[in-house]
Amino acid sequence: MKTIGYAAHSTDANMVPYHFEHRALRANDVAIEILYSGICHSDLHTVNGDWGPQPYPLVPGHEIVGRVIDVGSDVKKYKVGDNVAVGCMVDSCQDCDQCHNHEEQFCRNGMTPTYGAPDRIDGTTTQGGYSKHIVVREEFVLRVPEKLDLSRAAPILCAGITTYSPLRSWNVGKGSRVGVIGLGGLGHMAVKLAVAMGADVTVISRSSSKEDQAKAIGAKGILASTDEAAMEKAGASFDLIIDTVPVKHDVSVYTPLLDVDGSLVIVGQVGPMDEFMTIPLIFGRRRVAGSLIGGIKETQDVLDFCAEHNIHPECKMIRPDEVNDAFAHLKTGDVAYRFVMDMSHLDVDAA
């Protein structure tokens, strides 16, 4: 299938139009016309080569909402015209204990990311959602509930599941005291989801400048991490803290905020971190943990949860040719919304 997208050809993260071909449909494949594609901060890290060498040219994007345009002969779950979604992975071995436990993201043989990875069968590089079309194995295609606005649903496929999974894993519910570090693309979804679960939610940020935004989506307010008196007063006041900061930072500032047996879960930063003080951990049985995304079943769960509770990401709609401006904005600091590209502006036949 011939298509067009925006690709990086080197570590300068300059995205340019790129014509390429997806594989012909296998018996268990679904072909999708992409309608909307979210821009994740990890896309920028990846195309920059921050996480290692990349197989350029590379089309990023793993927050994908689209419409089925063709299916393979063995496909049973989807038909032409269905509204569907694709998240951060497009394949796994389907045979190990983790895959059988609906935790494909932890596949013992390595899950296949939506872009920048070799296809498990033919070895070609997977290309992502900054494009007009994608071809994906049926088991990794998700159903978009009718109650969701298609134009605002894409970030649920990464920002949503990345924060939903630890909230579920740590059993957040009515009365849970949850802190969310950062009010960017991940952070604002963590707030909305935790509030819908019945939690008492506070945003933790360097300043109180986004307090109105935090309160508007259900948080009690903001705890300014630069306010030493406020931080000391807030000691031992959280059961769970979701850390969404995507760059290297000092975790020791936040661990004293946890109550006994509390957990700080890192979902943003990937890579080395500064040494942190162990005293708050040892003397409060506190822990620092990590969480990736979720499996396919849990990703469908978060889509259904968002539909049930009328939760939509805060989105800023852009054209695909504005992607470099969006990347530049991400580099300067977090924003309390997600950039989403309207892929109707992409023309396969364009020069």
Q: How confident is the model at residue 246 (pLDDT cuts 50, 70, 90)?
A: confident
Give the Å distances, CA to CA, from 41 to 47, 265, 293, 306.
10, 18, 14, 22
Q: What is the pLDDT of residue 350?
A: 62
Per-residue model confidence as pLDDT tens digits over 94-146: 999 999 999 999 999 999 999 999 999 999 999 999 999 999 999 999 999 99
Question: Per-residue DSSP letters for 266-304?
Answer: E-S--S-------HHHHTTT-EEEE-----HHHHHHHHH
Contact 346, 318 (CB under 8 A): no
> Given a cut of 90, is residue 228 above it in pLDDT?
yes
Q: What is the pLDDT of residue 41?
A: 87
Per-residue model confidence as pLDDT tens digits over 14-54: 999 999 999 999 999 999 999 999 999 899 989 999 888 99
**Per-residue exposure over 117-136, b if at least 16 CB sit within 10 Å of its own CB, e if not:** beebeeeebbbbbbbbbbbb
List beta partners, residue 25: none
Which domains does the chain show, CATH number per domain? Answer: 2-155+315-345 (3.90.180.10), 159-290 (3.40.50.720)
Helix locations, the chain, DSSP H: 41-47, 97-100, 150-153, 159-169, 185-196, 211-216, 228-233, 279-282, 296-308, 323-332
Q: In whole angstroms, give the CA distance from residue 25 to residue 320.
A: 26
Q: What is the pLDDT of residue 13?
A: 80
Contact 23, 124 (CB under 8 A): yes
Residues 89, 95, 135: CA angle, nearest 5 degrees: 35
In the chain, pLDDT over 70 holds for what percent of residues?
98
Query: 162 in helix, strand or coil?
Result: helix
Mean pLDDT, range 153-182, rounded to an integer? 97
Contact 82, 65 (CB under 8 A): no
Phi-psi sector, 247: left (phi>0), alpha (psi -120 to 50), beta: beta
Contact 289, 254 (CB under 8 A): no
**Per-residue exposure over 58-78, b if at least 16 CB sit within 10 Å of its own CB, e if not:** bbbbbbbbbebeebbeebeeb
pLDDT, greater one: 203 or 12: 203
Q: In whole angstroms, give the CA distance from residue 2 to residue 135.
A: 11
Phi then psi for residue 285, to 5 deg, are 45, 40
The residues near 209 (Cβ < 8 Å, ≥ 6 apart) are none
Amino acid symbol at 282: I
The span from the first CA to the last CA of the chain, in angstroms, equals 17
- The rounded mean pLDDT for the chain is 95
Q: What is the pLDDT of residue 271?
A: 86
Interhelix angle 296-308/159-169, nearest 10 degrees: 100
Q: What is the pLDDT of residue 334?
A: 58
Q: What is the pLDDT of residue 275?
A: 83
| Burial grade of 281 (CB within 10 A; 0-12, 13-18, 19 or more) | middle
Per-residue model confidence as pLDDT tens digits over 44-95: 989 999 888 999 999 999 999 999 999 999 999 999 999 999 999 999 999 9
Phi then psi for residue 239, to 5 deg, are -85, -35
Q: What is the pLDDT of residue 108?
A: 98
Mean pLDDT, range 296-315, rounded to an integer? 97
> Given a cut of 80, is residue 152 above it in pLDDT?
yes
Element (H, E) at 5: strand 2-8
Mean pLDDT, range 298-306, rounded to an integer? 98
Amino acid symbol at 70: D
Q: How confident is the model at residue 331 (pLDDT cuts 50, 70, 90)?
A: confident
Mean pLDDT, range 250-265, rounded to an integer? 97
Q: How confident is the model at residue 351 (pLDDT cuts 50, 70, 90)?
A: very low
Question: Per-residue DSSP letters for 213-255?
Answer: HHHHTT---EEETT-HHHHHHTTT-EEEEEE---S---GGGTG
